[in-house]
Amino acid sequence: MIIHQSFTETIAQFQQLPIFVCHRSYAIVLSKVKKMTWKDVTLLSNAKIPLGRKKYQELQRKYMDYMENG
């Protein structure tokens, strides 16, 4: 699939999903998170997605909010 728009524009189309941009070129759906560390996120599919150096605490907050409020 070829997409002719920016990463930010593409992510904006999925506002109804609990999405977190975890790196410059990666976004994850919070409901698919299996495990997170300071350097990566493991999804339910066991795929490992890199986590930006300054994103870990923000991800923890967003994930806890998602778990509490859906």
Answer whether residue 1 is part of any domain.
no
| Whether the model pTM is above 0.85 | no
- For residue 42, give both structure tokens: 């493991």
> What are the tens digits of pLDDT across the range 9-42?
888 888 889 999 999 889 999 999 999 999 999 9
| pLDDT at residue 16, as a whole number | 86
Tell me the pLDDT of the chain averaged across its residues.
Answer: 92
pLDDT band for 1, please (50, 70, 90 cuts). Answer: low
The total number of structural domains that make up the chain? 1
Please answer whether residues 11 and 27 qualify as being in contact, where contact means their C-beta atoms are separated by less than 8 angstroms: yes
Does any domain span residue 35?
yes
Q: By the 8 A CB rule, do 36 and 57 touch? A: no
Determine how many CB atoms are found less than 10 A away from the CB of residue 26. Answer: 15
Q: How far apart are CA 6 and CA 62, in angstroms?
A: 23
Distance CA 51, CA 70 (A): 22
State which residues form the domain around 19.
Answer: 7-69
Q: Using CA atoms, how far apart are residues 11 and 7, in angstroms rounded to an integer? A: 6
